[in-house]
Amino acid sequence: MHTPLSGAAIYGGVGMGPQEHAFRNGVDVLVATPGRLLDHFQYGYAKLEGLEILVLDEADRMLDMGFLPDIRRVLRHLPPKLQTLFFSATLPQPIVELSREMLKNPATISIERKSAPATGITQSVFPVSQDLKLPLLETLLKRGEIQNAIVFTRTKHRANRVFEQLERHKVRVARIHGNRSQAQRTDALAGFKNGRYQILVATDIAARGIDVEALSHVVNFDVPGMPEDYIHRVGRTARAELTGDAMTFVAPDEENDLRAIERAISKRLPRITVPDFDYARKPAEKLEIPIQERIAAIRARKADDRARAKAKAERRGAAPAPARKPAAAARPQLPSRGQASTGQARRDRSTSSPSGSRPGGSPRGSRRH
């Protein structure tokens, strides 16, 4: 239902004009990211003297993402008297300390309902080595059983690698993670929702709040480190009493994380082996480039750039300087319009008046009778 409340969203990656308009006109509810809010606070129009309630949603996630310094800077721009609410799935020590700074005699409300995946989700585990995760995903896609899926990876680098290799195999795929611009994320999500993309590769943080109707599959390409993240991931499917599948690829070094998830949901997940998949094969290339190799590649690329720049500068220094053109002779300055030169004025007087007489008048020194 619509309410009479007005609101505005303040976030980065888009133009500030409409957001400035919201500040100037005023709204009832302002939903903002800390970074873009600080961008607006640089200007005089961004004033929040009338703020009554401040809500920090997913405070633990913002802490994980490194937003704590920005939050402290935002607080300096807010009125001292207001009601502050912290919404957080967990309460790590830095969040507790921040709450002591921001809140006065706070009341704690804890909802102890145990989180669990929806009943309509079919959960399964696919044991596979790290190097064969991508070939296994490609095999499942070729079988045609996955209508659309969000594929979750542990890092942005792995998300990029999965995206690149799926795209190379002509899969309609998009990606969304923290290094993508807001416009790129918006396009990826819109294309996934309208069917332009079959697969959306995402990281946990970037996928927060993604709501896709009738999502058939969630693929945990990497086992999440926290059981809560697993529940959030698989909760993208089987919404509104629909059904869906959650597949988790588990490498030997991820077994401990999987056992923690099974303890949290009080259920042992079935292990599945794909009959037509060669688990002994050797992949053509590694999915994840080791960090040392990535750093070495970056350094080599920068060294090449510096070498090219140095060679270019040396070529410029060795080239003979171009000969200067002789200075052009100064052109005589023409008198301005309506103004004659001194010599011209003298000639005019000599031709228009008799010698010794004033122009247009009687001779000098004579009197008219």
Counting Cβ atoms within 10 Å, is residue 233 exposed (0-12), middle (13-18) or buried (19+)? buried
The DSSP output letter for 289 is -
Is residue 317 scored above 90 in pLDDT?
Answer: no
Q: What is the pLDDT, as a whole number, of residue 325?
A: 58
Nearest CA among 263, 245, 284 for reference residue 151: 245
DSSP string, 199-216: EEEEETTTTTT---TT--
> Residues, the chain, total?
369
- pTM, to two decimals: 0.65
| Cα-to-chain-centroid distance, residue 202 | 13
pLDDT tens figures, 181-227:
878 988 999 999 999 999 999 988 766 667 788 899 999 999 998 88
> In whole angstroms, what is the distance from residue 248 CA to residue 23 CA?
45
Amino acid making up residue 337: R
Nearest CA among 241, 200, 205, 244 for reference residue 221: 200
Partners of 176 in the beta sheet?
202
Q: What is the pLDDT, as a whole number, of residue 340?
A: 44
Reduced to 3 states (helix: H, G, I; strand: E, B; else coil), residue 174 is strand
Q: Give yes or no for a contact between 156 and 178, defined as CB atoms under 8 angstroms apart.
A: yes
Is residue 365 scored above 50 in pLDDT?
Answer: no
Q: How confident is the model at residue 148 (pLDDT cuts 50, 70, 90)?
A: very high
Q: How confident is the model at residue 113 (pLDDT cuts 50, 70, 90)?
A: low
| Cα-to-chain-centroid distance, residue 263 | 35
- The residue-averaged pLDDT of 266-275 equals 95
Partners of 218 in the beta sheet?
150, 246
**Which structural domains are found in the chain, ordered by start?**
7-102 (3.40.50.300), 121-289 (3.40.50.300)
Average pLDDT, rounded, for the chain: 82
